[in-house]
Amino acid sequence: MDKKSNFVELKKTNKIWAIGSIHSNLKSFTSIKKFLLNNFAAFDKLIFLGNVIGLGNNSKETLSSVIDLRFKLMAKFKLKPESIVFLRGAQEEMFSKLLQLQIAPNPTEIIEWMFDHGVNETIKSYGFSESEVRRIASSGTMNISKWTTNLNKTLQNNLGHTQYFLSLKHAAYSNTKKILFVNRGVDITRPLSAQNDCFWWGFQNFSSIDRPYKTFSRIVRGYESEHLNQKEISKNDIVCTLFKQPLSNNSVLCGIFSENGEILDLFENK
């Protein structure tokens, strides 16, 4: 998995498949995975739009299934690593910070905030209890360092998991520069290189964008935090949102796009 750049340019592309936030919904992803394995074609590209983990209780298993899909598609079509892209979502961002908890200035407060936002479920899927993590977070830097070392070792014991977190990208785009893929949002007044964490924490009024962002006539994102009207979102000619609230609906939304930004298909797990 490539680690050199925060951005991926998709070259020699037929169709671009994009999968919205999964949030550890293993059952729904399994349905999507089966469909992909049966319909993916040579020169297609695949983008996971972040938040593969978190909130649900199957983070570890879902990530293993995602990695298994990557292996199978790469082997079948002899794909280059950049043909399958993983974007950083808020859940991946928080979990990555958790792996470095020993350098946090206020670990106890950070743990509570992360747990309120679904990271506790990811922790539990790797075999750690919430109470254990809370206790360690307040026990000093040395104990926290021992725990994060243990957590990193646990990741390493699951094939591809460490590499997944090391390979996360900020955004991806077609070589035509017509379609941009992000997790949650982008500030269209700033260049891609100056977005900071807008990609996974979002940007105010992003849903109401009504003009192209530089050369990008289509922006595809994998998460929307507000309970917006899906019909209103679908009317937007610029932003395509592959996610719908509430989280309890257990849906995983996907799309197929051309390199020029056309929507070829939108679907969800059955």
- Alpha-carbon distance of 17 to 179, in angstroms, equals 12
pTM of the model: 0.94
- Sign for the CA dihedral angle at 208, 214, 219, 224 comes to negative
- Alpha-carbon distance of 192 to 198, in angstroms, equals 10
Give the containing element (helix H, strand E) for 46.
Answer: strand 45-48
Residue 251 near residue 269 (C-beta atoms within 8 A): yes
Which domains does the chain show, CATH number per domain? 10-87+168-268 (3.60.21.10), 92-161 (no CATH)
The conformational region for residue 264 under phi > 0 = left, psi -120 to 50 = alpha, else beta, is alpha
| Structure tokens belonging to residue 191 | 């260049």
What size, in residues, is the chain? 270
pLDDT at 227: 59
pLDDT at 151: 97
**pLDDT-wise least confident of 84-88, 166-170, 205-209, 219-223:** 205-209
- In this structure, the dihedral spanned by the alpha carbons of residues 224, 227, 228 and 233, taken in order and rounded to 10 degrees, is 40
How many other CB atoms sit within 10 Å of the CB of residue 120? 21
pLDDT in tens, 43-89: 999 999 999 999 999 999 999 999 999 999 999 999 999 999 999 99
Beta bridge partners of 47: 18, 85
pLDDT beyond 90 at 229 = no
